[in-house]
Structures are given as structure tokens and as C-alpha cells.
Amino acid sequence: MPEALTVNLAERSYRIAFGRDLTSEVRAQAESLRAAGRAIAVVTDRTVAAKQEAALQTMFGSAPRWEAPSGEGAKSLSELERLLEFLAQKRLDRSSALFAVGGGVVGDLCGFAAASYLRGIDYYQVPTTLLAMVDSSVGGKTGVNLRAGKNLAGAFHQPRGVFISTGLLDTLPTREFAAGAAEVIKSALIADAGLFASLETTPLSPGGPGLDGAIRRCCSIKAAVVEADERELSAEGGRALLNLGHTFGHAIEQAAGYGRYLHGEAVAIGLCAAARLSQKLGRLTGPDMARVEAAVAAHALPVRLREPLALADLLGAMARDKKVRGGHPRFIVLGPIGFAAVAGVDPDLATACFKEAGAL
């Protein structure tokens, strides 16, 4: 049996399995559903379909398959509608289940479709990117982007299982791997100073030392946070802490145009901005702020904007962030490394951090 941990959510609990190759475990799950008279369908994207055709056939055989375009642009209402119409055309019923095979876009889109179709059906996550393995496949946050902002339409809908095959990362493009490392750094910053120190000394690489352990640790951090605050309702931080760097990062994604920065690249810039904000608030020392920037750079990620973005566009996007309360954005701040908190922040400080990141 592969290594595993459980996300404990009463009747919504589920298992995260870890291994080099979990093809046989996914196939067994699909066959078990079919044996129980339950139809399945596979949701993936065109890049994964092209690169993993043999694995898809092994896992799912002739099961109906729907493919999204590759990239952040697929995380849209129009693609959600196309997917829902596909499920209806294939006559899936309430006993049916979906398998999301891909990165964060596929997982979020499939999960939202599963939450919406017939008012909710089961789905399973088979993440193929580092970012999806350590973050988006766990926790049940699903959704799509709107013109107004990132992830503004969605639902909390927990998967029934997650299968993390680390061998899939061997063929992941270098830029995509680095983007996933941003979420590993984030998890370390909010909850594990020891993991952060290891990332400083030994940056992650496909198949490299520490990768499997880092993935499992990130999943355990997220599982614990989700168990304590599944729907992000805590007044003291809770699940909101997982958004360290994301208030800045989501604004960058929208202002630049979705796809110009990978999600993890925008988050990386956001992590550095959040570290600078934390220093301005007196919560993080100057040397620790420099450590954050150095760790981000060591993973081939940007610490500032590649080219200037309009400050007005960034601030406008930030004002529409999901974490806004009473018209005011909330930020996740550090202090010290390994600990985080939610803070109300003077807008001028956030503006200064954007300027230091290269906004004009």
C-alpha cells in the first residue's frame, strides 16, 4: 500500500495517497466505482492528454474524457458550461464520479463542475503538477475566474480521494515545477520554519532530495488547516493563512492578464511583497525578509515584476479580492518565519509594497 494521510472531515473525510506511480491505485478506484454500477468520466487538459495518453488509458480505459484548453484561460465560465453540457450529454447521474487529471486549473474546474452538476457529485483528484500536489488538489476549494478577479465564482466541495504520483513531475516543464515550488515555500513560511531552512540550503528539483518529504509535509499542513477551518470562517486566521502572498499575487495575475504569469510566479512575487509588508509592520526582521527573497530566487522564481504594471490596475484588482471585508483588503503577514496572521493594513503600506515590486 502507498503512503497515505487522511483529511478528517467527518462524512467528508478522504485519503491522500503518495507514491512514485499510483496508476494501479487509480485504476482500482475507477474499477471499483464501475463494479458498483457508477459511471465515471475523466477531466483533463490537452497537454496532459498528449503527454500521458498511455497512463490515461491504463487508468480509465474507454471512460468518457473531456479536455480543456491548457492554461489559466480555461478556468472560465465558458469552459465550465462546456464541461457541464458534456456531463449531461454523457448522461452521468448522481451516482457518477469525475476524475480530475491535471494541474490546478483542471482540478478547480472539475471540482466546481462536480459541485454544480445535479447539485453535487463525487470527484477524485489526480494532480500532475507540483502546485496541484502540494496545494490545490487538497482542501476542496473549487472555482473559476471572472473578468473582475481570480476565483470569484466557486464552491467548497471536497474530493473523495487524492492520488499523488510524484513520478509525473519528471516530465514537468522547468517553469511549471518552479511555479509549484512557490506554494511549498508558502507552506513553510506559515507553518514550518524547519522546512523553510531546508529549502534555503537545498532548493527543490524534480526527483531531487527532499522533494517527496516536502510534498507530504505541505499536504499535512494543509490538511490540518482545512480540518480546523474548512470553509474559511475563522476570525483568527485559520484557512485564510494559506493565502500568504495571494492578495498581491492574484492582483498581479489579473492586472497582467491571465497566463502572462503562472499562478506560482505571481504568488512568488506576492510572497516577497508580503515579507516586505511584514517588515514594515515590525513583525519580520530585515534579515528574515532577505531570506524570503533569497529562497524564492533560489527556486528560479521572480521576486519582482518582470516589467512594470499600472499601480491603479493592481489596486483595483486587490479591491475585488475574495478576502476583502467591509471594503478593506485583509493581508496575511509573517512574523517570525514559520508563523503567520491575518492583519488589517493601511492601504498606503500595500501601495508601497507594490511600488517596491516594480509597479508604476
Domain ranges for the chain, please list them. 3-171, 177-356
Choosing from 243, 276, 291, 299, the catalytic residue is 243
CATH topology of domain 177-356: Dehydroquinate synthase-like, alpha domain (1.20.1090)
34 grid coordinates:
464501475
Helix crossing, 104-116 with 77-89: angle to 10°? 60
Choosing from 160, 186, 217, 239, the catalytic residue is 239
237 pLDDT tier (thresholds 50, 70, 90): confident
Catalytic-residue membership of 232: yes
Phi then psi for residue 186, to 5 deg, are -60, -50
Three-class DSSP category at 356: helix
Three-class DSSP category at 133: helix
Catalytic-residue membership of 239: yes
Three-class DSSP category at 47: helix
Choosing from 160, 216, 217, 246, the catalytic residue is 246
Catalytic-residue membership of 263: yes
Q: Which among 358, 354, 284 has a CA at the least distance from the CA of 319?
A: 354
Three-class DSSP category at 214: helix
Residue with the three cell numbers 498581479 = 252
Catalytic-residue membership of 250: yes
CA distance 357 to 360: 9
Residue with the three cell numbers 511600488 = 355
Catalytic-residue membership of 186: no
Beta bridge partners of 334: 340
What integer pLDDT is reported at residue 295 of this predicted model? 98
Choosing from 150, 157, 263, 299, the catalytic residue is 263
Choosing from 25, 230, 232, 253, the catalytic residue is 232
Pairs from 190-195 (Cβ < 8 Å, separation ≥ 24): 190/221, 190/241, 190/242, 190/244, 190/332, 190/334, 190/338, 190/339, 190/340, 191/221, 191/225, 191/241, 191/338, 191/339, 191/340, 192/217, 192/221, 192/338, 193/336, 193/337, 193/338, 194/338
Catalytic-residue membership of 222: yes
327 pLDDT tier (thresholds 50, 70, 90): low
Choosing from 186, 222, 280, 330, the catalytic residue is 222
- If you ran DSSP here, which 8-state letter would residue 325 be given? B
320 pLDDT tier (thresholds 50, 70, 90): confident
Q: Domain 3-171 class?
A: alpha beta
Cβ partners under 8 Å of residue 230, min gap 6:
9, 140, 156, 158, 239
Q: What is the pairing mode between strands 340-344 and 330-334? A: antiparallel
Three-class DSSP category at 127: strand
Catalytic-residue membership of 183: yes
Percent of the chain with pLDDT over 90: 88
Do 3-171 and 177-356 show the same overall fold? Answer: no
Cβ partners under 8 Å of residue 53, min gap 6:
none
More confident of the two residues 232 and 235? 232
What's the whole-number average pLDDT of the chain? Answer: 95
- Summarised one tens digit per residue, pLDDT across range 155-213 is 999 999 999 999 999 989 999 999 999 999 999 999 999 999 999 999 999 989 899 99
Beta bridge partners of 13: none
CA distance 110 to 80: 8
More confident of the two residues 260 and 319? 260
Query: Cis omega before residue 336 (within 30°)?
Result: yes
The secondary structure element, H or E, covering residue 194 is helix 193-201
CA distance 335 to 282: 8
Residue 323 Cα distances to 84, 90, 179, 237, 315, angstroms: 28, 37, 23, 11, 14
CA distance 317 to 161: 34
CA distance 48 to 287: 41
Predicted TM-score (pTM) of this structure: 0.94
Residue 103 has pLDDT above 80, yes or no: yes
More confident of the two residues 141 and 323? 141
CA distance 358 to 360: 7
